Amino acid sequence: MKNNKMLKISFLVVAVLALIASCKKYDPNKLTSTAWSPNLAVPLAHGHFTVYDILARTDSNDVVIIDPSTGAIALVYRGEIVSYQASDLVDMMDYSSTTTLTMASDFIIPPFGPYSGTQSASQTNVVNPALNSGVELYTTDFKGGTLTIGVSTDLMHDVDVTITIPDLLENGTTPFTRTINLTYSGAVPQSGNQVVDLTGYVIDFTNGGTSFNEFDIQTDVTISGSGQGISGTESVDVQCDFSNLQFEKCTGYFGQQSIAVDNDSILLRIFDNEPEGYFELMDPRVRFTVTNEMGFPVEIALSNLMTIEQSTGNTFVLTGYPATVDVPAPASIGLSTTTILELNQSNTGNLTTVITPTPQWFYFEGNGISNPNGNQSVNFLADTSVLRVDAEVEMPMEGLAYGFTVTDTIPFSFSENIDYIESLMFRINVDNGFPVELLGFAQVLDSNNNVLFDVWASPENIIEPAPVDGNGRVTESYQKITDIFLNDSQIALIGQASYLVIGGEAQSLDGTTGQIVKLFEDYVIDLRVGMQVQGRFDL
């Protein structure tokens, strides 16, 4: 049971009786504080409702003016189905490089007694960073990360180790070089290290423009004899650990990566109460908007587009829509491209039909692939780059509806002393600016939800539709006054009232004959409810 909840009014669903619960209330105690009169009229409620109040009570942004010159409106429901981050594509994992220089192979020093000479050796290692499969990096600007250089040796001599990475540029200009000096102090092994913050460094992974995903580390070692012996089995071990790497921007070819487009759905809030009846829109549309900040083209494939009835689980599959969306790359880092695929009656087989059953959800699936045509150009990324796919269902308020039954229950009580009441009349005054009509009913219930009486013996036409011109636009509002007279037996029971069940069957103007109507921003409905009491009141 939904208390005090306004039901949506459109050319498909109207429940103006429920609006009474949302009107501005007057103080019923005025009955007892008013001077004696044999005929007393009291206003009970007044409401003035616009299209925003009626169609978009939860979120006014649901109503969008699609034609500012006329005020034509649409309901637009939105959802984001994927937001693909740069870090999802290029994950710079930790990696290490180890270099070992030996007496026999690199320094060419045989076993020796007391050694006081000087000898140098060097090695150059090609390093291949750990990356996602299929990613080919050319350059990277680091915004964070650490290079830890560790040196260890069992030589009983002074050792100087210089690490040079020609393609790792400090501040983007100066090749990286660091030296670690080990001075023999009588104990082995000897060790030393340096920790380098890579923020602001730039690295070239092409090895002089001939490759990708690699760079050289050059290790130069000089031994200065201390007078101790050399066994010939000693070595100098150097390890470079790259960790916590974060890029600010990078270039390369990032391969044909799968881009997951989440299965998702958009709630069509106008149908959230699961109304029953026939509903037809003239020009519904579904838009997929792809914003690409990543420096490569993408192909998005859509699948399993359908609407779903929540209560029954019935699905209505969309047919004939374009299978793919081709999304171009932006021209440079910091720019973006926007690609819109609009589905409408001209490029689908049954879009109007899948909306007609008043479904609660629009469901979609999809997947994407980067560089669908292979390696055509240099790709680029910034750390803030995203690929975002947004979806929206636009329902222009133009069409017809009929057979919609709506019901609501609101609290209701009458606390006056009925012993002094001879007659009781309620007046509903509706000035309707919508092309919608309502055949209403009402029942008064006690606290146990038992029906005390029906307000009308048969359904009453509470709201008459406003007339429209040849374009479906309302030409003037239509006023309808409905008086509800309670008989003696009903008056005797009204003091037991706790709830009022109100509802009816709604349709757009001549909806059963195919008349098309439109809703515009300036449509309003004015509702007033009053009560007239005839009785004998003691002073």
* Ranges of CATH 2.60.120 domains, the chain: 16-73+400-535, 75-87+258-397
Residues whose CB falls within 8 Å of the CB of residue 105, separated by 6 or more in sequence, listed in order = none
Residue 252: which of 144, 129, 339, 127 has the closest Cα?
129
pLDDT bucket at 408, cuts 50 / 70 / 90: confident
pLDDT digits (tens, 9 = 90+) for 380-399: 999 999 999 899 999 999 99
Residue 473 scores a pLDDT above 80: yes
Residue 276 scores a pLDDT above 80: no
Mean pLDDT of 296-313: 92
Task: Give the integer Cα–Cα distance in Å for 454 and 447.
Answer: 16
Task: Give the integer Cα–Cα distance in Å for 2 and 410.
Answer: 8
Residue 25 scores a pLDDT above 60: no
pLDDT digits (tens, 9 = 90+) for 151-173: 999 999 999 999 999 999 999 99
Other Cβ atoms closer than 10 A to 68: 8
Under DSSP, is residue 271 helix (H, G, I), strand (E, B) or coil? helix
Return the top range by mean pLDDT from 35-44, 244-253, 526-535: 244-253
pLDDT digits (tens, 9 = 90+) for 47-69: 889 988 888 766 778 888 989 99
Other Cβ atoms closer than 10 A to 220: 17
Task: Give the integer Cα–Cα distance in Å for 430 and 116.
Answer: 110
Mean pLDDT of 214-219: 97
Residue 183 scores a pLDDT above 90: yes
Residues whose CB falls within 8 Å of the CB of residue 183, separated by 6 or more in sequence, listed in order = 158
Two structure tokens written together for 523: 């449509």
- Supply the pLDDT for residue 39: 61
53 Rama class: left (phi>0) / alpha (psi -120 to 50) / beta: alpha
Two structure tokens written together for 186: 């009588």
CATH number assigned to the domain with residue range 16-73+400-535, chosen from the 4 options 2.60.120, 1.10.1660, 3.10.420, 2.60.40: 2.60.120
Under DSSP, is residue 431 helix (H, G, I), strand (E, B) or coil? strand
The owner of tokens 């007078």 is 227
The C-alpha angle 101, 106, 111, rounded to 5 degrees, equals 95
pTM: 0.78
pLDDT bucket at 271, cuts 50 / 70 / 90: confident
Beginning with the edge strand found earlier in the chain, give each strand of the sheet holding 337-343 in spatial order.
63-67, 72-85, 386-396, 285-292, 337-343
pLDDT bucket at 40, cuts 50 / 70 / 90: low
Least confident of 17-21, 83-87, 448-452, 453-457: 17-21
The C-alpha angle 227, 231, 234, rounded to 5 degrees, equals 100
Radius of gyration, alpha carbons of the chain: 39
pLDDT digits (tens, 9 = 90+) for 339-383: 999 999 999 999 999 988 888 999 998 889 999 999 999 999 999
Give, in words, the CATH class of 75-87+258-397: mainly beta
Residue 533 scores a pLDDT above 70: yes
- Supply the pLDDT for residue 405: 82
Mean pLDDT of 223-244: 96
- Express as a percent the part of the chain with pLDDT over 70: 91
Mean pLDDT of 518-525: 95
- Rounded to the nearest integer, the mean pLDDT of the chain is 87
Mean pLDDT of 465-469: 96
CB 177 within 8 A of CB 206: no
Other Cβ atoms closer than 10 A to 129: 19
* Beta-strand pair 436-445/499-508: antiparallel
- Supply the pLDDT for residue 31: 35
CB 264 within 8 A of CB 364: yes
Max intra-chain CA distance, the chain: 132
Residues whose CB falls within 8 Å of the CB of residue 333, separated by 6 or more in sequence, listed in order = 249, 295, 380, 381, 382, 385
- Supply the pLDDT for residue 79: 82
Residue 316 scores a pLDDT above 60: yes
- Supply the pLDDT for residue 57: 64
Two structure tokens written together for 66: 């699609």
Two structure tokens written together for 127: 């390093």
